[in-house]
Amino acid sequence: MFIRLFDITIQCNLSKEIISSTLLSCPENKVFMSIDTIFIGKKDAINTVFLFGKDFPLYHDIIWSDIAFCEYFKTIDWGLFKYKPTYCSEIQIYSHIYYSGISYQNIRVDFNNTDSIHNKHCLLHVRLCNYRNLLK
């Protein structure tokens, strides 16, 4: 299992037992992610995600005419889906994951869409660390 973390705070949304069993049963071609802060998965899946930075495929506005992609992305981040900033990093990395055929599971409660039915199944509350600029 490989994990990459950024400057965040993490709180459980579900029990630690459910979180642990979910992460430990991760299939080979699946990535658990929190938009651009946490990446969890087996080595090959993580390597595919990080090939984005090496190959840098650029996804254009045509992604928004793909109904399946839109359904996939609106469960990830309603705020970004609503405004569709095609060239922001989050849209680009999730496009790469989607079109690479990697299975994806959102593990972060979408605080931009607190009424989402998907939030009750998310594993974690993930926020940027309030003290990240204070650490030296």
* 85 part of a folded domain: yes
Q: Are 91 and 85 in contact (CB under 8 A)?
A: yes
Which domain does 36 fall in, by range?
2-111
Place of tokens 């979180």: 19
* 55 part of a folded domain: yes
Q: Are 63 and 90 in contact (CB under 8 A)?
A: no
Query: Judging by beta carbons within 10 Å of its beta carbon (0-12, 13-18, 19+), is residue 89 exposed, middle or buried?
Result: exposed
Beta bridge partners of 128: 8
Higher pLDDT, 51 or 64: 64
Q: pTM of the prediction? A: 0.72
* 41 part of a folded domain: yes
Gap between the Cα atoms of 66 and 14, Å rounded = 32
What is the per-residue pLDDT across 19-59, written as a single tens digit (0 to 9) for each? 999 999 999 999 988 766 778 888 888 888 888 777 778 99
* 12 part of a folded domain: yes
Tally the domains of the chain.
Answer: 1
What is the per-residue pLDDT across 84-104, written as a single tens digit (0 to 9) for each? 999 998 899 889 889 988 888
- Dihedral angle of Cα 8, 112, 108, 17, to the nearest 10 degrees: 110
